[in-house]
Structure 1
Amino acid sequence: MKQLMKVAVLPVSAIFLLTACRNAPTNNTSVKEGEQEAVSTATISATAVQLKDDKLNAVYQQYAQLTTALTNGDAKAAQLAGNAIEAGAGALKDGGALAQSAAKITATADIEAQREAYSTLSNELIGLVKQAGVAGGVLYVDYCPMAMEDKGGYWLSGVEEIRNPYFGESMMTCGEVKEKVGH
């Protein structure tokens, strides 16, 4: 009788474990879908903005990807976007400082070091964007007073909603819109 119980319980336990294990990836998939949605939102907002300088516009598109990567805490994606910005900035008339900041992001996998270089990169890009002008859409110059050890940090965004790249999930909405560039 005890043998029969062991034989009956074992398959039931195995089915329970397999079912539980199959459900776990579903939960992870929904997180991945949420992350993909954040990336898609950034991409849509980036493409809704058109700068007057085509080369600078291409750099801004990569900057939007970088901002999303830092907001999501994804150092690898930040490195990829930094690499693309560095290459694009090299084609800009006054892109030397922008390229140097992007190179610092590409050179490290430390998200905090990337965010520090992002601050300098953002300041450079904001100046270039204001100089070139926006042909279509609106860019928001956002500011977080707590970034950079309470020195504050600026960034560009294609949406009015604050999504803080300096602190990511820990302080996602910390910041304010300081200025609008464009229509």
Structure 2
Amino acid sequence: MQKFHHYIIPLTVAFMLASCGGSQKKETKRATGTNTIDHAVHAPGAVSLAPLQRFRIKDDGLNAVYQQYQQLTSALTNGKLAEAKIASNALEAGAAEVQGGKGLASAAARIVEAPSIEKQRAHFASLSDAMIGLVKKAGVEGELYMDYCPMALDNKGAYWLSTDKEIRNPYFGEEMLTCGEVKETIK
């Protein structure tokens, strides 16, 4: 029986990586007009300094809130509890000023109060659903990607928004950074 356990764990990990595109890109560069944006897989604790936006949400208030959403996504991806709380606090304040932003503000408040990164990530799903609804209603200039991880929330699946086609999963972070796929391009 003990030999059997030695095979289960490696097989389970291999299956999870295969089902979620287990390869990780170390660095990509994308030219956008006159700007080049670097997207690197950061070591734990590293903060991305890449520009957050290659598009614009047509509602100025929501556009400003989306900047905090991107900071929150980055914090969750990098496993940074305190940074996620700070971004969520700012997102909550901004969402209160956005028409229809009550659900977004409420979800952000739950992330601020969450005692662990795992609980923050669980609340991020409802926040993302609210953000997706508001963004689709407002419209965008450029492209925004609606990403999906089928393994998030105990295999229930969850969505998030991204400005890049490259998957950087905020629900699992470094554990399964590239798990997921682009489900929709919002234009």
Structure 2, unmatched stretches of 5+, are 1-41
One-letter code aligned to 2:135: V
Secondary structure, in 3 states, of the residue corresponding to 1:164?
coil
Q: 2:118 corresponds to which residue? A: 112
Q: 2:158 corresponds to which residue? A: 153
Shift in Å, 1:31: 4.9
Secondary structure, in 3 states, of the residue corresponding to 1:174?
coil
Q: 1:166 corresponds to which residue? A: 171
Residue pair 1:79, 1:109 contacting (<8 A) in 2 also: no
**Which of the pair is proportionally richer in strand?**
2
Q: TM-score, normalised by structure 2?
A: 0.75
Are 1:77 and 2:86 an aligned pair?
Answer: no
Mapped to 2, the partners of 1:142 and 1:69 lie a distance apart of: 17
Q: TM-score, normalised by structure 1?
A: 0.77
| Identity score, percent | 55
Mapped to 1, the partners of 2:181 and 2:123 lie a distance apart of: 21
Mapped to 2, the partners of 1:146 and 1:94 lie a distance apart of: 29
Deviation beyond 3 Å, 4+ runs, structure 1: none
Larger Rg: 1
Mapped to 2, the partners of 1:116 and 1:31 lie a distance apart of: 23
Alignment RMSD (CA, Å): 1.5
Residue pair 1:147, 1:153 contacting (<8 A) in 2 also: yes
Mapped to 2, the partners of 1:61 and 1:83 lie a distance apart of: 13
For each residue in 1:25-81, what CA deviation from the matched residue of structure 2 results, as whole angstroms up to 9, or x when unmatched? xxxxx957x813xx213xx1x222210000000110100000000000001000000
Mapped to 2, the partners of 1:123 and 1:31 lie a distance apart of: 28
